[in-house]
Structure 1
């Protein structure tokens, strides 16, 4: 993991909004008030018929989004046996021969869907690459499981699914998980609206056919301190839900205001929820899209199933009225366009080398500044 040390200062390096950044490590009297663990929020109230219960939940969620950008969603209501079955499917898929998985290599698609081999991702240029393998799927009108309308812009297939007989279990297993997380995310979206003092349905019109992804990930045990499972970054979506396997030692870490990495321990019956770049953008930087990374140093195999949720691909978003500054003009931002630019940065990292990556980061930086987000 990239850290620089001068004669008097230590800096942690990361990517925020696709743009290289750094944070000074503060200790002693220089340290700021910040978090040292993630809050646990009981989500049973998300299913309540009483608006006051949902508003109470939203108040807790809003505080976590402003102060930290991450929280545990406890008692989320998604069937635990479904989650267990999905983890078993992950292990079975990643145990398949490489040639079976490479049939759906993600470099065959512009949307980066399919299988990613070890070390192909490289969010931190100081490392040899991300020590992980993964599989990405997402919104695709040509997949009948999603029951989406096919339009000229959605008529081409986006997902790739393996066809070898040994891998035919994979598609239905992932879709069971996808559908459960999609349903929960739509409920959570309304809690976020309440937390922003908006009507519950405020985001419904821009999420009729949301951009969504499941990224199944396998992290082998790291043997070297210089390796990283996933480089330090922020997520480029609306929000992310993470279901992680139960390892003895935590691997996911969140960066606090003092440049200290806070471990995110796997906890039974919880999702880890984090705010991502779009919600930071529309709240004018009031909600935090927090830097995080994965270092799997505990000697165990680790599996993770993040679900990413964003508005419709053709939606336009801007800073919400209550977060705008007097006299400032905030441009609308194309959701699909921004998402693809961030995706291209990840692809360029390992496809075209460091020079290509710098060009893509510079392009993203210009787009990101259009919304004039304070502190970005």
Structure 2
């Protein structure tokens, strides 16, 4: 395979250890990955394999519950809670028309905010309380701890993104001081297919600035390269898969890619996945950074705000929310 049809592996170890020159060297690797492929693996990221395994165990515990217990926590307008099997359809996809509902179920959590937080009290969109299962001791604590670790990792990684864009390393620091994130804990049943127009997760691009997909022994992810060829993402021990989404694309004026990808579980068994979608602070204006615009390269997108963008996206994507809104 050519370099542009192979998902690169980026070792974060030297950068995270503060080795001289490692910031800019790693940033150049990141620049290549995000301008040529849109996906990369990270190794030596500092998240322990034991912690990742413990979260996967919690995901299995959650999805093993009876459907009535899961539906008691059904997805709400904040984007938290349970989405049942075939509960979303990717109508927003630019690469797959007429898609059937996706063959997966998922549980979503966002930042854990205290009950007296001003945004919670105001019922601000996407800043509401998480929905936690009552009968799974330890579930909440393990998931919240994992999200906190990934948040800290993202806050270190955005300095690489800044340098990859020829910006000062601290350029994104303030924007990600209190980042907006969502952890999607997904269960994919086995598929023989894909059947015609049926996927575990249909071809799509993420909405996020950055997505971290946890290391997984059960493969199922495929990405579409810039040549239009679909390639399978290998299962690399202890390595996260990372990609950019539509917010990154807008922030970089299409300089960095939001690459289409899909998931099909042909493993013969069950597949579970942990995707952490991370964006800037909820009120941060997303507009093209200065190094991606010029006299011959005007901004392609208006200034974007997280809440407005996600309201439009989720209304079209999540059948459960669309049905609820239609009934209001």
TM range (shorter): 0.7 to 0.9
1:311 to 1:51, Cα distance in 2 relative to 1, 3 A = farther
Which sections of structure 1, spanning at least 5 residues, go unmatched? Answer: 1-32, 357-376
1:54 to 1:232, Cα distance in 2 relative to 1, 3 A = same
The DSSP-based 3-state class of the residue aligned with 1:191 is helix
The more displaced of 148-157 and 114-123 is 148-157
The answer on whether the counterparts of 1:237 and 1:339 sit within 8 Å (CA) in structure 2 is no
Of 300, 309, 312 in structure 2, the residue corresponding to residue 338 of structure 1 is 309
C-alpha distance in 2 between matches for 1:129 and 1:272: 24
The DSSP-based 3-state class of the residue aligned with 2:211 is strand
Mapping of residues 81-160 of structure 1, within 5 Å: 81-106=50-75, 109-123=76-90, 126-142=98-114, 152=122, 154=124, 157-160=128-131
Mapping of residues 187-202 of structure 1, within 5 Å: 187-202=156-171
Tell me by how many angstroms 1:331 deviates.
3.6
C-alpha distance in 1 between matches for 2:321 and 2:73: 18
Tell me by how many angstroms 1:48 deviates.
2.4
C-alpha distance in 2 between matches for 1:234 and 1:346: 12
1:157 to 1:280, Cα distance in 2 relative to 1, 3 A = closer
C-alpha distance in 2 between matches for 1:34 and 1:78: 27
Mapping of residues 313-324 of structure 1, within 5 Å: 313-324=282-293
1:148 to 1:276, Cα distance in 2 relative to 1, 3 A = farther
Point out the structure with the larger strand share.
1
Tell me by how many angstroms 1:140 deviates.
4.4
CA offsets, 1:172-211, max 9 Å, x none?
1211211111111111111111111111211122222211
The more displaced of 43-52 and 308-317 is 43-52
1:47 to 1:291, Cα distance in 2 relative to 1, 3 A = same
C-alpha distance in 2 between matches for 1:186 and 1:238: 12
The answer on whether the counterparts of 1:315 and 1:336 sit within 8 Å (CA) in structure 2 is no
C-alpha distance in 1 between matches for 2:63 and 2:101: 19
Residues 1:228 and 2:195 aligned together: no
Of 189, 207, 213 in structure 2, the residue corresponding to residue 242 of structure 1 is 213
Mapping of residues 235-314 of structure 1, within 5 Å: 235-247=206-218, 250-314=219-283
Q: TM-score, normalised by structure 1?
A: 0.77
Tell me by how many angstroms 1:169 deviates.
2.9
- The 4+ residue runs of structure 1 with deviation greater than 4 A are 147-156
The answer on whether the counterparts of 2:188 and 2:271 sit within 8 Å (CA) in structure 1 is yes
Which sections of structure 2, spanning at least 5 residues, go unmatched? Answer: 91-95
1:34 to 1:78, Cα distance in 2 relative to 1, 3 A = closer
